[in-house]
Amino acid sequence: MVLSLYVILFLALHLLPGMKSSMINVNNNGYDGIVIAINPSVPEDEKLIQNIKEMVSEASTYLFHATKRRLYFRNVSILIPMTWKSKPEYVMPKQESYDQADVIVANPYLKYGDDPYTLQYGQCGEKGQYIHFTPNFLLTNNLPIYGSRGRVFVHEWAHLRWGIFDEYNVDRPFYISRRNTIEATRCSTHITGTNVVFKGCQGGSCVTRPCRRDSLTGLYEANCTFIPNESQTAKDSIMFMQSLNSVTEFCTAETHNTEAPNLQNKMCDHRSTWDVIVKSDDFQKAPPMTGTDPPPHPTFSLLKTKQRVVCLVLDKSGSMNSEDRLFRMNQAVELYLIQIIEKGSLVGLVTFESVATIQNNLIKITDENAYEEIRAKLPRAADGGTSICRGLTAGFQAITHSDQSTSGSEIVLLTDGEDNQISSCFEEVKQSGAIIHTIALGPAAAKELETLSNMTGGYRFFANKDINGLTDAFSRISSRSGSITQQAIQLESKALSITGKKWINGTVPVDSTVGNDTFFVVTWTIQKPEILLQDPKGRRYNTSDFKEDKLNIRTARLQIPGIAETGTWSYHLLNKQASSQELTVTMTTRARSSTTLPVTATAHMSRSTTHYPNPVIVYAHVSQGLLPVLGVNVTAIIESENGHQVKLELWDNGAGADTVKNDGIYSRYFTDFHGNGRYSLKVHAQAKKKPARLSLRQQRNKALYIPGYVENGKIIVNPPRPEVKEDMAEAEVEDFSRLTSGESFTVSGAPPAGSLTHAFPPVKIKDLEATVKGDQIQLSWTAPGKVLDKGKESKSLLSIL
C-alpha cells in the first residue's frame, strides 16, 4: 500500500521530544521537579488543567500505597503553551520546556484511540523518555476502559521512572503453562476471568461462546479474549491491569508469573516488577515513611512558555587561532543566525577572552538586517586568556539590559580553552534560571563545561577534527516549544576533500514534508569552488546565484526561492585551484507548511558518561510526528578526542541493544573506544532506493484497553477499541535524508587507542520462537553477532524432529 504523506498527516500532530534531561528528583520521599507540558496546538481548555491536577493528586496517594509508603508526588509544574491566553497565576518557566517534559499532553499519535503510553526503549531498569496523554483521555470518562486516570498515571510512571514493562501481551494473550493448562498472559495468576469468543454485539450486550483449542498450536483460537471478573481479591499487578479495584500493588517474587510471555519477563530475565523497582535510584533515596498519615497533597505551579531568548557567548581567546577555529566558529554562527534560529526570536552576542564584551544586546530576528547587525560583530581576531564566568555574566547582562528575564532564556556557550575558575559562577548560573548549551571545541576545552549543561538542562556538544562538527552542533540547538513546523531540519552535512582541478558530485533528496526556507551552503578552506546545483525539474543554479559572505569567512549560500521542489537535487563542485582543499556542503530546510509534519530524526547515547569496559548504546528515533518510520538506513558517526571516527549502522530488529522490533527506534552497542575524554555523536537517517514505511500500529508500553468485565456471571462489554486494519497498518514513505547531532558523552578508564583488552560476550537472544511444522518443532531466532551485537546480523532456523 502506498499513501501520500499528506493523506496520513492528520493522524499525527506532534513532535516527539528527543533526548531529554529530566529535572525530577526525590527529596524526603517526595518527587519534585515533575514537568507536564501541553502542546502548542492543543486548544485552550481550563478543564484540562483541572483534570491534570486531579489525576496527579489521586495518583500520588495510589503511588504512596503501591510503594509501601516510600514515594509520592510533591511538586508538579504544568507548562502552558504560548498559544493560550496569559493569566495572573501563570508564571515564567526556568529550565522547563515541552521537549524536556516528563509528561506531554498532545493529540493522539493515531486517530485510532487515546491509549496513554510511555516512550520507553531502554534496557530493564532504565528510565523512559516521556508519558503521552491525549486531551481526549484527560477530558472524557474512561473509567470502564482503563480505570481511573490516577491509576493509569502510576502504571505509566512505573515505565518512565523505573524501567519496568507491561505484564500483558496483546500479540500472545495466552500461553501453555508447565501444568499443561492454557493461561491468560498476566501477573499475577490470581486474577480470575473467563475466556470467550465474541460472536456479535449490540449496544452493551454480546453473544459469546467458550474458546476452542487450536489443534496445531495447542492454544486457544486466534480471536479468543480474556475477560476479567469485575470482583477480584488479587492485589497485583499494576503493570497488568491497574483498572481492577482490588489491584493496588506490583508483582513481587512471591506472586510474579515467570512463565508469562510478556515484555517484563523478556527484558528483565523473569524478575518481578517489584524486584526491579526496589533497586532503582529513587528507592535508594526513599526509606518507608513512619506513621499512618497519608502523604501531603501535591502542589502545582502553572508556567507559561515565553518568547525565545538566546544569547551567544563565544570564545575569542588566543587558542582560537589554531586549526582555523575562529573561522569555523564564525561560519557555524552565521548559519545558525540565518538558517536555524526561529524568526521572532531575540538574540544577543557576547565575546570573551580574559574579559568579556557585550557586542549586541538582544535583537529580534525578523529579517536580513537583524542578523546582519549581529553577524557584523563576530570576532575577526583571537587573543588573550579564557574566562568563561565573565562571558556568562556578560551574557546574563545582555539579556537583562534588554528588559528580559534570564529565567527561561538560553545561553549558547562555545569555548576551546581550559578554565579552572568555572565553579566560581555555578551559584550565579543556578540562580539565573537560564538554560546553558555548551559546545566544547577541541580536546583542551574545560572539563567542567558539561556541569553547566547538566545543572541547567541544556545541551552539550563536542566538535574536534570533523570540520562540520560545529555547524552540526549549532543546527541541533532549536526551539524546545514543541512547534516542530518552525524548527530547522538538516538534510545534508558533508565534508569533502577534493584534489586540484577535480569535480565532486552528490545528491540530496527533498521529500514532500519539507521544502520551506531551504538553504544550500558551501564552505571552502582556500579558494571558492565552481558550484552547480540542479533541482529535480532540471532548473540550474550556478556560482553566480550564490551569495558570498561579506565577512570573508569562505561561505557561499543560496536560499531556494519559494518552496523547494520535491525529489532528488544534485550538486557538482569544481576545485579550480591546483592543490587539494576541504569543502563542506550543508542543506537545511523547514516543514513545507504549518500543517505539514516533517520526518525527523533525534539521537542520543544511553548514558552521558561511561567507565570502560561498560558499553553504551546509541539510539536514534526516526518519526513523522509521533508515528515511527520503519525500514530506514540509519548510521551513527562517533568521533573521539583524538579524531578517530567510527561509523556504526543502527538496527530496529528487536535483537541486541534494540528492545522492540519495528518501533522506529534504531540502536546498537558502542564498544570501539579510542582513549578517554569526550566523544561526539552524529546520525544520518536516509531512505534511498529502499522503501521506508510509516507505522500506524499501536504503541507499546501503554495502559491496557479492557474489553469488558464479568459482573455477576454476565459479561459487560466496553466499546470495541478502534483498530488499524492490517492492510492499512503501514504507509510507504518517499526518499528522504536527515542529519542530526546527539549530545556528547564522556569515557573514562579506557586503555590507549588500539590496545583494548576486554572481550564482550554475545548479547542474549531475545526473540527465540518455537512453531509446530507437521511433525517437527521449528526454532527461530536472531543471531546479532560475536561481540554484543557487533557482527553480521543473521536469522537462524533449527528444526527438531
Which active-site residues does the annotation give? 156
Ramachandran category for residue 51: left, alpha or beta (phi over 0 → left; psi -120 to 50 → alpha): alpha
Q: How far apart are CA 123 and CA 259, in angstroms?
A: 20
What is the side-by-side order of every strand in the sheet holding 540-542? 503-510, 567-574, 530-534, 540-542
| Cα dihedral sign, 78-81-85-86 | positive
DSSP letter for 79, please.
E
Q: Are 480 and 97 in contact (CB under 8 A)?
A: yes
Cβ atoms of residues 367 and 418 within 8 Å: no
Query: 683 pairs with which residues across the strands?
Result: 636, 740
Rounded Cα gap, residues 801 and 777, in angstroms? 7
Q: Which residues share a beta bridge with 21?
A: none
Cell of 735: 526518499
Which of 304, 27, 298, 290 lies closest to 150, judged by CA?
Answer: 298
Closest CA to 735 of 692, 781, 786: 692
Does residue 400 sit in helix, strand or coil? helix
CA angle centred on 6, ends 108 and 338, rounded to 5°: 90
Q: What is the CA radius of gyration of the chain?
A: 28
Q: How many contiguous H segments (helices) and E segments (strands) does the chain have?
A: 15, 45
Q: How far apart are CA 167 and CA 171, in angstroms?
A: 12
- Burial class for 46, CB neighbours closer than 10 Å (0-12, 13-18, 19+): exposed
DSSP secondary structure string, 440-507? EESTTS-TTHHHHHHHHT--EEEESS-TTHHHHHHHH----SS-GGGS-EEEEEEEEEE-TT-EEEEE
Least Cα distance to 782 among 664, 700, 697, 662 occurs for: 662
Q: Three-state secondary structure along 707-741?
A: CEEEECCEEEECCCCCCCCHHHCEEEECCEEEEEE
Task: Select from 46, 72, 69, 273 the least CA-distant residue to 166.
Answer: 273
One-letter amino acid of 436:
I
Q: How many CB atoms lie within 10 A of CB 312?
A: 26
Report the distance separating Cα 474 and Cα 309, nearest Å.
15
Phi, psi of 278 (to 5 degrees): -70, -15
Q: Which of 307, 326, 308 is nearest to 477 (CA)?
A: 308
Residues 434, 436: Cα–Cα separation, whole Å: 6
- Report the distance separating Cα 29 and Cα 295, nearest Å: 9
